[in-house]
Amino acid sequence: IHDYFFAKTIDQVKPGGVIAFITSKGTLDKKNSSVRKYIAERADLLGAIRLPNTAFKEIAGTEVTSDILILQKKTEPQVVKEDLSWLQLGCNENGLTYNQYFIDHPEMVIGKMQEISGRFGQDTACILPDNKTFEQRMDRAVRQIQGSIAEVAFFDEYEDTAEGIPADPKLPNYAYSVVDEKVYYRENDVMILQEPSRSGAERLKELIRLRDAVRELIDSQLEGVSDAAIAAQQERLSALYD
C-alpha cells in the first residue's frame, strides 16, 4: 500500500515540487528495487533520514524502523542508472544488509543498525539507546538535505498562449478541464488546448461536468455533510448522467 501512495503523490505534484514521505524501512530495504526505480525515474532523492524504531512508539504503540524520504519531482520521467546508490542494497562492516544510501551516509541514520529478533525472525532495526540525543542528531541530519524550489506563479496569473496554459494545480495530471469554454488536457506542467469536433467538444464538456459532480459527491460523503445535501448532489449527478 505504501507503493501506491508514492506513485499517486508523485503524479499529483507539480514538476519541481518537493515531497516528504514517512514510510517503513521496507521501501528502501526490500530486495526488489522496482518501486525505488519507479520513483527514481520520476523524482530525485534530495535526502533520506532513517529514524530509530522507537520514533513512533508513544503515538502508534509499536516499534518499527521508519524512514523520511525527501523527493523532488522531475519535469518528465527519465531512465535512471541501475547503479544509483539508493536503488541498491549493501552490507555494512558488520555484515548487515540494508539500503546502500544509509551505508554511504551514516550521518543520516539516527541510531545504529543492528540485528534483532522480530515477529518474522531476525531483522535489522535502527536502535538509538539514548533518546536524549534524538533531536540533536535529527537536526544535523536535516541540515544535510540540500535542494531548492523555484518560484512559480499561480494559475490565475497566466494568460492563454498558442501552446496552451500552465497547469491548474487543482487538476490531477492527465485529466481534461474546461477553461473559458475551451477544453484543455493537462500533461505535467502544461494544459494543452484540445480541438475536437463541435459534437466531440460538447461530449467532453458533459463528461467533465459528470466527473466533477462525482468527485464533489465523494468529498461530501467523506466530510460527513447532511443527508439532505447528499441527496441533492445525488439527484444532480443522476440528471447529468441521464
Residue 39 main-chain phi, psi, to 5 deg: -65, -45
Angstrom distance (rounded) from CA 240 to CA 242? 5
pLDDT at 161: 56
Whether 199 shows a pLDDT value over 90: the answer reads no
Full-model pTM: 0.64
Query: Which residue would you say has higher pLDDT here, 164 or 113?
Result: 113
| Beta carbons of 189 and 150 less than 8 angstroms apart | no
Angstrom distance (rounded) from CA 43 to CA 50? 19
Whether 156 shows a pLDDT value over 70: the answer reads no
pLDDT digits (tens, 9 = 90+) for 13-37: 888 889 999 999 999 999 999 999 9
Whose cell is 528502501? That residue is 28
Whether 184 shows a pLDDT value over 80: the answer reads yes
